[in-house]
Structure formats: structure tokens, C-alpha cells
Amino acid sequence: MAFEKQKAELSPAQKAERSISKQFRRKLWSPFVSAIKEYQLIQPNDKIAVCISGGKDSMLLAKMMQMLKRYSDFPFELIYLVMDPGYNAANRKRIEENAARLEIPLTIFETDIFAVADTMEHSPCYICARMRRGHLYNKAKELGCNKIALGHHFSDVIETTVMSMFYASQMQAMLPKLHSQNFPGMTLIRPLYKIHEDDIIAWMRANELQFIQCACRFTERNAVSENEIFESKRKEVKEIIRRLKRDNPGIEKSIFHSIHSVRIETFPGYKADGKMHSFLEKFDADSESFDEK
């Protein structure tokens, strides 16, 4: 009886945390901690801007980073950073209400990115994405951060890898962390790297949470946008992977493991540091021989 009373008195934030550490421990908390350790995403005394877009991925990221800080053996700082690029009132309110419900203290700053991108005749979605990333880095650096954390997850990694092969004619993956080229001293980290999107959705539904989707003015007004074309390709890849899983349930793990064990000597060409290379560069000089595959 006392247990039931204690359970009933849990706040929405406590329930969300409890579900992460109990019900979804194997699917959310364990892979989250595993990614941070394996890829060395957080070091002592880091100051990390956890970037919140208002969607399910970034909100879960913020809550788990908050929990990690509480349980961590070493000190690091967190700022829960929200950039308002020109959200409508309803979306801005939804972000603030969800953060309050999950007890995440937001630092919000405003920009006019949606308005600027909306005036662009060509590639407004690409320009918007570039501007958003630049503003986030800028604000994080201004606040004394040395890292920004984004909510890209396992499914993003797999889909990006397949999409690059199918639609960009290249093999390109998504790294769990990388140095910023334009903001020296800043590092981008992806702590959800090992977490499946389906498990994030399951956690969201279990906690009866509703998050914003795409909040862009351009896609609100236009029937077919650049972003929608991109998302249609992503949906197509999701469906391909879903069909492949019916015959091979481990297909996603295979794709994920393949980007961790690339045999570069078997590729006729590759690009490194912005320069194209051919297997012929080493072919004649190589004394080793490889079995034909």
C-alpha cells in the first residue's frame, strides 16, 4: 500500500526518469552509457550545450544527460540550449511545457533564421540547417561550452549510411563525435548513437508525452519542400530496412558494425581529408597480395 502511494506521488519528471532507469534500462540507459564510454564523448570538466529542438530525440537526450550528471563519478556542466529560429506561439509553448514537465531548465535564445531562409529562392532547407548549426555553436561558445550534444540516434546512423549509398553515390557514415571546422575548440557529440528510434518512441508513449515535429514555416506553407523530398527518401530507406528485417532481424546491427570495421584496402577509391585516392597509388608498391574476393 505504501509503495503504491509512493508510486502515485511521483512527478511526471520522476516517472520519466524511473522509466529510463527501470522499464527502458536495457534499450535506453545501457546503450546511452555504452556510447559515452566507448566513444569517450564526455571528459571531466566538460561544459556541454545539450541542444534541444523540441522533438522526442533531443528531449530524451536532455533528460538522460541530466540523469548522467547526477550519477557521474566526475564533474561536468550542462546547459540545456534551445534556439528559437522563429517558432510559432504553439510550438514555442509546447517546448517550454515539455521542459517544465520533465524538469529541464532551458536557456532559450532567439534568431530570425526561419524568416531569412524563407527569402531564399534556392535550397532554403539547406541554408536553414547550416544557419541553425552555426547559431548553436556560436551561442554555446559564448556561454563557455566546449561541446554541443545533438540527438542523432542509431536509426539516423543506419539510414544515413544507406541513403548516402543509394542517393549520393558514396559510402558515408555519421560519426559519434567530431571537431568543428569553423569553431576551433568545439566538439559535437551524439550520445544517442546506440539507441534505436523505435525505443525512443516507446518511451515517449509510455510517458504520454507529445513533442513537436518539423516546425518550419516554409514546410507549413508549401506543398512540396526540399525538406519533404529529403524526408521522403528517408522514409523510403526506413521501409527498405523494415522489409529486410523480416528475413534478417539483425540487418541493422550488421550495417552498424560494418561502419566500424571498414576494410579500406578492398575499395578501388576513397576520399580522405577532402582528397580522392585510388587503390592504384599503392598497388605496384605493395609487396603484400590479397586473396581475390
pLDDT at 6: 53
In a domain, 99, yes or no: yes
pLDDT digits 0-9 by tens, 68-125: 999 999 999 999 999 988 888 999 999 999 999 999 999 999 987 777 766 666 555 6
Q: Is the pLDDT of residue 7 over 80?
A: no
In a domain, 23, yes or no: yes
In a domain, 282, yes or no: no
In a domain, 278, yes or no: no
In a domain, 103, yes or no: yes
The better pLDDT of the pair 248, 282 is held by 248
Whichever domain contains 204, its CATH number is 3.40.50.620
Strand partners, 267: none
pLDDT digits 0-9 by tens, 14-40: 999 999 999 999 999 999 999 999 999
Give the whole-number percent of the chain exceeding pLDDT 70.
84
C-alpha grid cell for residue 89?
506561439
Q: Please name the helix (run of DSSP H) or strand (run of DSSP E) that holds residue 110, with its range, or none.
A: strand 106-110
C-alpha grid cell for residue 182?
569553423
pLDDT at 214: 61
Among 57, 128, 134, 156, smallest CA distance to 98 is for 57
- What is the pLDDT confidence band of residue 290, given thresholds at 50, 70 and 90? low
The DSSP output letter for 26 is I
In a domain, 280, yes or no: no
C-alpha grid cell for residue 43?
571528459
In a domain, 189, yes or no: yes
- Structural domain including 50 reads 2-153+173-217
| Pairing status of strand 177-179 against strand 187-189 | antiparallel
- Name the residue type at position 257: H
Mean pLDDT of the chain: 88
pLDDT digits 0-9 by tens, 172-219: 999 999 999 889 999 999 999 999 999 999 999 999 999 987 655 555
Count how many Cα atoms sit within 13 Å of the Cα of residue 289 in the half-sphere of its side chain: 2
In a domain, 263, yes or no: no
Q: Please name the helix (run of DSSP H) or strand (run of DSSP E) that holds residue 244, with its range, or none.
A: helix 226-247
**Structural domain tally of the chain?**
1
pLDDT at 224: 46
